[in-house]
Chains A and B, each alone.
Chain A
Amino acid sequence: MKYLDEYRNQALIQRLAEQIKKRATRCWHVMEICGGQTHTLIRSGIDQLLDGIVQPVHGPGCPVCVTPLEKIDRAINVALTPRVTLATYGDMMRVPGSNSDLLHARSRGADVRIVYSPLDALMLAEKHADREIVFFAVGFETTAPANAMSVWLASQKDIPNFSLLVSHVLVPPAIEALLQDEESHIDGFIAPGHVCTVMGFEEYEELARRFSRPFVVAGFEPADLLEALLLLVAMLEENRFTVENQYTRCATRMGNLHARKMIREVFEVTDMKWRGLGTIHRSGFRLKDEYQSFDAEVRFPLDHISTPEPPHCCAGQVLQGKTKPSQCPAFGKECTPERPLGAPMVSSEGACAAYYSFRRFQENCL
């Protein structure tokens, strides 16, 4: 299939891996931010191919994994409210809150619908004027434009029964927090291609300068990641700390200006709590004051639900790249996709789920 097969071409993949091996004079620790990229690395075995050359460190870029317990608890509470439909992306269904998850809420009678877009949720609101439709707006910058658009449209069309339960996080402040942590030793970053498609990569240029780390904006297929790693290793070997763009077929320096405008119209930057990482300064979005009436946390009495994050959950260590999933003592034992202890085991983008799905019978994993 066009735009797919060429990025999974085995000869190309082998050639890129050989070039990386030739270029590297030592083993580099490279963090891929995005969970989609983690999944490709592990699924296609790129880490095995570059063993001893590039040590991947899996970053916090799985939106499901970093959504705080409190938001999950609030979503479940909203879903169980009479005459409310909670619409959500599929992979939020299984994420454990403090007592339950949305799948269980649904089997107890909550009206929880899986949708592919917030605009589908908005359509539900138009169709069912007698019900409150709440969309669980989770994600990084990638999902923000569509979420913003849904609120803007609801406001334009005067749809009163639609609201968002917002849990939006931003990549650059999380990278900054990771780099300020003395325990993390990351030589360079694979920047998330989809986030950069929306936001551009100016912000990463600033991070590269301030922290003397190279970044490569990358796509999500095996050849994308290998090409990005080749660029990154070259920059590391030459001590060049800038941003290069491998994902030129989608991402540009300025990003999608229309999408950014829509985000600015509806959202503003705020401090945000991350599961496993704690509260990070100016690292999320909230609805602007003029759109507060579309905020589910304003519309429904949810303030009483305040769930502290578990203090030492190793999911946080995994999300910061300090612990490999397979190094966690609970991995594959107490913690499995059926009985997840932490969110990285739940989402298909989570690092623990990737290791469990693809690696768990191998000796180095268990």
Chain B
Amino acid sequence: MKVACRLPHSDYEIITLGHGGGGRLSQQLISGVLLPKLNNDYLQELHDGAVFPIADPVRLAFTTDSFVVSPPFFPGGDIGLLSVYGTANDLAMCGARPLFLSLALIIEEGFSIHGLEQILSSIRTACDLLELQVVTGDTKVVERGKGDGIFINTTGLGAVLDGIEISPRRIRAGDQILLSGSLAEHGVSIMSLREGLKFDSPLLSDTSALWPLVEAVLRRGGQGIHSMRDATRGGLASALNEMALSARVGIVIDENALPVREEVQGACEILGLDPLYIANEGKFVSLVSPECSEQVLSAMREHPLGRDACRIGEVVAGHPGVVVARNGFGATRVIDMISGEQLPRIC
């Protein structure tokens, strides 16, 4: 058949919101625009942070993240907590104890001082919990209309635990995939707030500091922990796809094993969204050798942040780069990386 579609291709001469959605467009921006200019051994791993040796055996992890959440205050957290936990969690995903943080604030003219104080109190609380310090910072104010209230950037430095090596390169067929808890709570909490949805029980963001749980996992699993990734922007689907792509392995997950709280599922049904693609701020997946997966899972469940942890699937040698879900009656489907933003459906 001759294809005569005259419809346009999108050439993306400009940035669209989809480029920031954590899905395939974000990947294309990184691999097509950023990496060609800046690539090096550290960047090309495309991990949550870079790990580099200082003086054997000391290894540092280094990462940065920007926070543009709107609204800045939401049930279960605020942009302050998020800006500490987000960066600290990226360090944790490198197997590193978070130590030091930089803090850059970009504030829009008109933002209330009281609001700023609240955010700083949250930052302080989060730092105290993790025993880390903000050691340098910067403040900029932009004209009204040139920012969305407040943007925060934090950069973190951490020390990798001895004997731990977390890298997509270590992922092997047979690795078990463990998820630390139920999905989609952060994204659904924010979206319900924006849409004015009200539920009998409030939907709280899962914003939390993962290091205490990650440390327990690393101490139990040691070298058996091959790779970890927090399922933030783009959700679990993006985290798994990124791992499958960078390790050139296939991933099979069991759809029935995915934990989603009932109220979150309900909100997703109402809003027409798939929980697999919705952001989390306190959940991670670890890819673990089959020999130690049971011990690691029980270590997770002993910790309050990991009490709903479960095994959701495994790494396979077939279909490299593709994540597949199997449902209860044996049918399979591809869990694709989202294209741009997740867009609510008409009906």
Q: Mark A220-235, 1 if CB is under 8 A from B, else 0.
A: 0000000000000000
Q: Tell me the nearest residue of chain B to A138, going by C-beta.
A: B346
A337–B14 touching, CB < 8 Å = no
Residue numbers in B under 8 Å from A313 (CB-CB): 3-7
Complex Cα gap A49–B322 (Å): 22
A44:B327 contact, CB within 8 angstroms: yes
Known A4-B269, A45-B332: A338·B14 in contact at CB below 8 Å? no
List CB contacts (< 8 Å) of A77-114 with chain B. Answer: 89-94, 96-101, 103-104, 106-108, 114
| B339 contacts A337, C-beta separation under 8 Å | yes
B interface, by DSSP: helix, strand, loop or mixed?
Answer: loop
Q: Which residue of A lies closest to B261 (CB)?
A: A1
Q: Which residues of A contact B295 (CB under 8 A)?
A: none
Q: CA A13 – CA B4 in complex, angstroms?
A: 40
Give the nearest-CB partner of B266 in chain A.
A1
Q: Does A282 contact B (CB under 8 A)?
A: no
Give B304-319 interface residues, CB cut-off 8 Å to A: 319
Using a CB–CB cutoff of 8 Å, the interface residues on chain A facing chain B are 1, 4, 10, 13-14, 17, 36, 42-46, 48-49, 63-64, 69, 89-94, 96-101, 103-104, 106-108, 114, 116, 138-140, 142-143, 194, 310-315, 317, 323, 327-330, 334-335, 337-343, 347-349, 356-362
Instruction: Identify 11 residue pairs between A and B in the complex whose beta-carbon atoms are under 8 Å apart, listed by A's number.
Output: A4-B265, A10-B256, A69-B7, A91-B345, A103-B16, A312-B4, A313-B6, A338-B339, A339-B10, A341-B7, A357-B333
Asked whether A341 and B329 contact (CB < 8 A) given A1-B266, A91-B344, A348-B345, the answer is no
Q: Which residues of B contact A343 (CB under 8 A)?
A: 7
Q: How far, in whole Å, are A103 and B17 apart by their CA atoms in the complex?
A: 8
Q: Which of B256, B266, B269, B347 gathers the greatest number of chain A CB atoms within 10 Å?
A: B347
Encode contact with A along B1-36: 1 for CB under 8 Å, 0 otherwise.
Answer: 111111111100011111000001100100000000
| Residue from A44, A341, A358 within 8 A of B5 (CB atoms) | A341
With beta carbons under 8 angstroms apart, the residue of A13, A347, A361 that contacts B319 is A361
Query: In the complex, what's the smallest C-beta–C-beta distance from A62 to chain B, in angstroms?
Result: 9
Of A63, A116, A139, A334, the residue contacting B3 (CB under 8 A) is A334
B139 to chain A minimum Cβ distance, whole angstroms, is 29
- Tell me if A45 and B331 are in contact (CB < 8 A): yes
Interface residues of B (CB under 8 A from A): 1-10, 14-18, 24-25, 28, 195, 256, 262, 265-266, 269, 271-272, 319, 322, 324, 327-334, 336, 339-341, 343-347
B327 proximity list for chain A (CB < 8 A): 10, 44-45
Q: Can you name 4 extra interface pairs (CB under 8 A) apart from A14-B329, A101-B10, A143-B347? A: A63-B346, A90-B344, A329-B3, A358-B336
- A39's nearest neighbour on chain B, judged by CB, is B345
Of chain B, the residue at the smallest CB distance from A72 is: B7
Q: How far is the CB of A176 from chain B (nearest CB, A)?
A: 22
Query: Which of B1, B24, B341, B343 contacts A338 (CB under 8 A)?
Result: B24
Given A48-B331, A49-B329, A310-B4, the answer on whether A339 and B346 have CB atoms closer than 8 Å is no
| A349 and B345 in contact, given A328-B1, A337-B339, A342-B7 (Cβ under 8 angstroms) | yes
Q: A91-B344, A359-B334, A360-B334 are in contact. Are A10 and B5 (CB under 8 A)?
A: no
Query: What residue in chain A is nearest B321 (Cβ atoms)?
Result: A361
B343 touches A94 (CB 8 A): yes
